[in-house]
């Protein structure tokens, strides 16, 4: 059935059968692991929400096998959506489109739009092909928690509640897809990701706005606190990092530090790659491992203030509280 090295034909067939029974399955994609269920089965979609503990008005992305399926799920598809699909699918781009009439309200949170994506992962594509339909799949984490980038992360989140988790290895992108709303007059990025505004604008030949409109569709990733570890986490500009570390150590507080360049002697933490794509790939695993150490506080050094770091800034902002400025200049 498949020559995938990561997952056996039997595992794939089991996952497909579970989906047909209306169950949810842990699914690797190139961005993060998803919690997948049959997008055409309201019971299955409700099970996704219940398993995640996610409020019902936060819509789900429907994953499809290839761009030819757009018209199965969306209507009045604009030319720019076809161009983006041709340029970026399969890949880490979700498009918001006007939904087709049959699409279930539970999938879209009752909105008139739908999020669609073709994931670029051999296991996800093999499962989509075998299954035939669309798979609704939010990130496979409990609501508000850090997204999973390995199969073990998914097992850590749900244990027996999600018995079938396909192991496709660590996710290569590491942060969630870029979401671009192409249902309105002008394309608009609702959630930044690896595919940046410039790349999208280049394909479309028009500028792309970043940020949700006030009356925009609901994007749960746009809640202020999201993707957060359990340990209180604070983002810290490089120039204040040493001071904060010394204060914490001086007061006997246990801290962990996610740093960019160096860790002072005696400080526990991780040094992250200096390249935004590599940083993204390791961010969630790093947050999870530091979180598991049970420190009192997590300090995250803020990356450079440059456009290629935008999606990282976004995720770090949601994982942390604003910098404390008790001793700010």
Per CB under 5 A, residues contacting Mg ion are 139
Q: How far apart are CA 328 and CA 55, in angstroms?
A: 38
Alpha carbon separation from 294 to 228, 230, 254, 268 (Å, rounded): 14, 9, 9, 12
Angle CA 307–309–311, to nearest 5:
100
**Nearest CA among 300, 272, 263 for reference residue 174:** 272
Asked if 271 and 263 touch (Cβ cutoff 8 Å), the reply is: yes
Nearer to ligand TXA, 2 or 29 (CB): 29
For residue 288, the minimal CB distance to Mg ion (Å) is: 14
Q: Which of residues 196-225 bind ligand TXA (CB under 6 A)?
A: 217-221
Is residue 157 within the footprint of ligand TXA (CB under 6 A)? no
Q: Which helix (H) or strand (E) covers residue 70, if one does?
A: helix 70-73
Is residue 34 within the footprint of ligand TXA (CB under 6 A)? yes
For residue 192, the minimal CB distance to ligand TXA (Å) is: 12
Is residue 187 within the footprint of ligand TXA (CB under 6 A)? no
Is residue 176 within the footprint of ligand TXA (CB under 6 A)? yes
Nearer to ligand TXA, 240 or 313 (CB): 313
**Nearest CA among 200, 18, 183 for reference residue 108:** 183
Is residue 29 within the footprint of ligand TXA (CB under 6 A)? yes
Q: Which residue is nearest to Mg ion (CB)?
A: 139
Nearer to Mg ion, 32 or 84 (CB): 32
Q: Select the residue interacting with ligand TXA from 61, 70, 95, 182 (CB under 6 A).
A: 61
Alpha carbon separation from 245 to 236, 241, 253, 272 (Å, rounded): 10, 6, 10, 17
Only one of the segments 56-64, 67-75, 237-245, 303-311 lies at the binding site for ligand TXA (rule: CB under 6 A); that segment is: 56-64
Q: Select the residue interacting with ligand TXA from 113, 120, 194, 320 (CB under 6 A).
A: 113
With CB under 5 to 8 Å by kind, the binding choice for 150 among ligand TXA, Mg ion, none is none
Order across the sheet with 135-136: list the strands. Answer: 25-27, 34-38, 135-136, 61-63, 113-117, 93-98, 178-181, 188-191, 209-210
Q: Select the residue interacting with ligand TXA from 117, 121, 145, 256 (CB under 6 A).
A: 117
With H, G, I as helix, E, B as strand and everything else as coil, classify residue 84: helix
User: Which two structure tokens, joined as six digits, stand for 196?
Assistant: 């940046």
Contact positions vs ligand TXA (CB under 6 A): 29, 31-32, 34, 58-61, 94, 96, 108, 111, 113-115, 117, 119, 137-139, 176-177, 179, 190, 217-221
């Amino acid at each position: 059935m498949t020559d995938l090295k990561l997952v056996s034909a039997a595992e794939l067939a089991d996952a497909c059968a579970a989906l047909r029974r209306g169950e949810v399955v842990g699914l690797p994609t190139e961005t993060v692991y998803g919690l997948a269920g049959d997008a055409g089965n309201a019971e299955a979609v409700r099970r996704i929400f219940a398993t995640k503990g996610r409020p019902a008005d936060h819509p789900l992305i429907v994953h499809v096998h290839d761009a030819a399926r757009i018209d199965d799920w969306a209507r009045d598809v604009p030319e720019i959506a076809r161009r983006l699909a041709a340029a970026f699918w399969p890949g880490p781009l979700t498009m918001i489109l006007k939904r087709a009439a049959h699409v279930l309200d539970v999938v879209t949170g009752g909105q008139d739009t739908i999020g669609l994506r073709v994931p670029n992962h051999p296991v996800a594509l093999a499962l989509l092909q075998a299954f035939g339909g669309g798979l609704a799949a939010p990130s496979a984490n409990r609501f508000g928690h850090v997204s999973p980038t390995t199969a073990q992360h998914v097992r850590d989140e749900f244990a027996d509640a999600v018995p079938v988790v396909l192991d496709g290895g660590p996710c290569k992108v590491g942060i969630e897809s870029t979401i671009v709303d192409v249902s309105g007059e002008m394309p608009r990025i609702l959630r930044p990701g690896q595919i940046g505004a410039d790349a999208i604008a280049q394909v479309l030949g028009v500028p792309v706005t970043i940020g949700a409109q006030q009356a925009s569709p609901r994007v749960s990733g746009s809640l202020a606190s999201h993707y957060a570890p359990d340990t209180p986490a604070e983002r810290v500009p490089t120039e204040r990092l040493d001071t904060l570390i010394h204060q914490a150590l001086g007061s006997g507080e246990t801290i962990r530090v996610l740093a960019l360049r160096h860790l002072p002697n005696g400080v526990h933490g991780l040094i992250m790659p200096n390249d935004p794509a590599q940083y993204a790939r390791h961010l969630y695993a790093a947050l999870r491992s530091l979180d598991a150490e049970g420190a009192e506080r997590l300090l995250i050094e803020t990356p450079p203030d440059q456009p290629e770091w935008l999606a990282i800034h976004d995720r770090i902002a949601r994982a942390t509280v604003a910098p404390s400025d008790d001793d700010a200049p």
